[in-house]
A and B are shown apart, each in its own frame.
Chain A
Amino acid sequence: MLSIRNLSKSYRKGEVKAVDDLTLEVPAGQIFGFLGPNGAGKTTTIKMVVGLLRPDSGSITVDGVDVLKQPLEAKRLIGFVPDYPELYPKLTGLEYLNFIGDVYGIPTDLRRRRLGELLEMFGLQDVLRDLIQTYSHGMKQKLAVIGAVLPDPALLILDEPMTGLDPKSSILFKDLMRRRCDEGKAVFFSTHVLDVAERVCDRVAIINRGRLVADGTMEELRAKARGQTTLERIFLELTEAAEGEEAEGR
């Protein structure tokens, strides 16, 4: 579903390599966890996939559509929730969702049906006509999730999606992700909460200093991390090992 090939991005005229020759494959029907320490390049990668940043080199395709060459077609296939949901404070929740519905061309009947389900799920029905500036952080996060799922995209991309969600909403959201994957779509999300990644993801990739450290199912990662059992341990083992190798190389 999502194919990333030899992706690189640097800042300050090449001085800082945020993403370095990254190659990833996210198959359809899978929840894919994208892990890494702070500054590892997770958000930069996600921003390149959704079109907020332009890669220096490499390619990204979503369901065979090249993100760089056919940006509009690719955007139709993607739903995106950023780490901090900056939504228009002077629009109401309903106006925001209608805006999203209009730009994705969702017909009225379908829009009403999907919104009915999503609003019920996240409990936002009775606040939808209030300005977004009156929403709490969690409510904004829920609205951003609803906005991303409303067009029923083939690929849902989420940057730290659990931040701000209450436990009930988190459970519902995980169910929603699973259901989408069962329908043959894919979910690609970054998180710091390794516990969530361990329980929810079908496959996990670990990135450190812009480079892919590991990629596989939990079993494959356990094998690679010399028998470590929890993802937390695997994460530490693999990122530290990668850093050690890098230091030796220097």
Chain B
Amino acid sequence: MASPERTTDPPVGRQAPTSAFWPVFRVSLNNTFGLSAGRYRYLVRRERLWEPLLILLAVGSLVFTFSLLGYHVARAFIVSGAQLGQPEVAFTFALLVSQALVFFLGFFLVLSVLYFSTDLDILVPLPIRPGTIVAAKFGTVLVSEYLWVLLVLGPTAVAYARLVAGGPLFWLSVSAVALLAPVVPLALSSVLSLALMRFINRRHRDLLMVVASVIVIGVVLFFQMSLLSVPESELPAYLQRILSGQLRLVDAVGRGFPPAVWGTNVIASPDPATRLGSLAALAAVSLGAWWLMLFLGGRVFYGGLIGGEEIARRRLGPAELEAARARTMELVRQGSVVGAVFRREWRLFMRVPLYVMNGFVPSLIVPAMLLFPAVASSDPELARLLSLLQGAGTTRFYTALGFAALMVFLAGINTTSCTSISREGRQFWISKVVPVLPEEMVKGKMLFLAVTAVFSVAPVVIVFIIVARPPLLLLVGATVAGLAASLLALLLGLLVDIVRPYLTWTNPQQAVKSNLNAVIMMGVELVLLVGLGLTAYGLHTRLGLAEGPTLVCLLGLIGLLWVAAWRATVAAAADLYERRDF
């Protein structure tokens, strides 16, 4: 009897797929931008349909503001450059700025997607080459980096087309350069992060993020100081000197980073051969940087990643073990429930450098940016403004209120409060199952936020003292009002996050950077600041109330708002902890 013919599937599992890049890239893109989650929420379940509208509004207004600013800066460069017969220098500058942004911001994004992302636990065991994972992750970051390139290069191109020359070929060239522009800087920052992560001990990697962030802040402050040390009236002449004088920006940049010059040539060179040659050079270098990144990724990515977070532990002898146990037991002691929540919040926040940088850096940078011109600038206009601020009367009072508003602004723009719940991520189940009253949970979280408020208030107070030299009573009044309103802003941020926590993130970067609550919080804060500002104006200027009573009334209003916000927050917390599904 003839046996039935057996059909067998080809052994596909034993061979690596032709290219795993596209599947991994698609999944990574989907995961990073929440495409499926968004489609499911908005199209299938039809929930929170206002969110996409809000995102569009927020992103749209930001893009519009940046574009307008970029257009004016580009216009100034084109006009200044035209006087030297080099209007295209605006493109060199735009490319340089966008590529610097891509390099610095890309460094953190690449680190976050390559080494701190939880989907690696799924990807690494799959039969995919490490270089493919690196390439797919790189592609994902590249997509988000195009936003920066478009924000900087777009307004420059529009300004150039209006002032100098446009046409289809011009726009085609701009598009080609925009596509290639972020590849080299992002590949370089990827190579840097791959190399660093290969040789830095995993336990010190958080520290690396801090050091890198501090360097970036240092660079920003250096440029800020350099620009502000020039009186505003002399700024055009200063720019002119940079453009025409010894610095010769184009040449200087060209020597340091030729792709920016090649990009400029592709867009604006009158010679077709130069345009084609520059495009070929830009494409070749981009390809080379991409290849270098893949080559290095293929060799060192797993070396830097594998081994996980687990650490080898030395075997202790009996005496050492006993001593270690005794020391451990000494640390076991009872504390209050609110204290336990506070300590947990503090530790989970302070041990993630990204949270610390997002939470505290704006509170230091913004006051520093105010302080530098006050102490370093020789601009007579600024000196006159300072003496006005330091004078008596209504201006001095409103200056004090302005500084109080700055405290509130800084407390609100950092994402600490509006990610209070979101930061717990997938560990949120613990908060749901432990027997803690929602009110106690809110108290513990608010206590932590109150401590962070000190960090946003203290630098402003110092700058206030140095810049405005207020009398003691006004200083105390403004500080108390600023602190009280900051606490209210933080409570409102906590409320926003309780109402709509984002818990499904895969790396801490997403918890903070991809959290719509930050945008909502800005709107809430704007309403709060405008409301309090109008109240102060109405009381002091319209009704003629003296400074002291105006401040007392403001504090009363803040108190009332605080009580209302507290009740709303506790009610929302009861819903979150006791009724909502997780």
Contact = CB atoms under 8 A, between A and B. Distances in A.
A95 B342 CA distance: 12
Contact of A75 (B321, B344, B434): B434
B376 interface: no
Contacts of A227: none
B225 interface: no
B430 A111 contact: no
A112 B427 contact: no
8 contacts: A91-B348, A99-B340, A101-B332, A103-B434, A108-B333, A115-B332, A116-B329, A119-B325
Contacts of B309: 89, 131, 133-134
Interface in A119-135: 119, 125-131, 133-135
A125 B310 CA distance: 17
B352 interface: yes
A97 B430 CA distance: 12
B429 interface: yes
Contacts, number: 122
Given A52-B581, A78-B433, A126-B324, A107 B334 contact: yes
Interface in B560-582: 578-582
A86 interface: yes
Interface in A170-203: none
B321 A87 contact: no
Contacts of B331: 94, 98, 129
Nearest to B321: A126
Interface of B: 45, 203, 309-311, 313, 316, 321, 324-325, 327-329, 331-337, 339-341, 343-344, 347-348, 351-352, 426-427, 429-430, 432-437, 578-582
Contacts of B335: 98, 102
Contacts of A91: 344, 347-348
Nearest to A144: B430
Contacts of A105: 334, 337
B564 to A, nearest CB: 25
A130 B328 CA distance: 11
B372 to A, nearest CB: 35
Contacts of B203: 134
A160 to B, nearest CB: 15
B334 A102 contact: yes
A53 B582 contact: yes
Nearest to B425: A86
A98 B340 CA distance: 8
B348 A136 contact: no
Contacts of B341: 103
Given A47-B582, A90-B347, A99-B343, 13 more contacts: A50-B432, A52-B433, A53-B582, A54-B581, A86-B426, A88-B344, A99-B340, A102-B334, A104-B434, A112-B332, A125-B328, A126-B313, A134-B311
A174 to B, nearest CB: 23
B408 to A, nearest CB: 29
B337 A134 contact: no
A100 B435 CA distance: 10
Contact of B435 (A89, A104, A129, A131): A104
Nearest to A109: B334
A103 B561 CA distance: 30
A224 interface: no
A125 B325 contact: yes
A135 B313 CA distance: 11
A159 to B, nearest CB: 11
A71 interface: yes
A102 B347 CA distance: 16
Contact of B324 (A53, A78, A125): A125
Contact of A52 (B347, B429, B435): B429
Q: Which 9 A-B pairs have the closest CB atoms?
A: A102-B340, A75-B435, A90-B351, A133-B309, A86-B426, A76-B435, A103-B434, A108-B334, A134-B311
A127 B435 CA distance: 27
Nearest to A11: B581
A43 B489 CA distance: 39
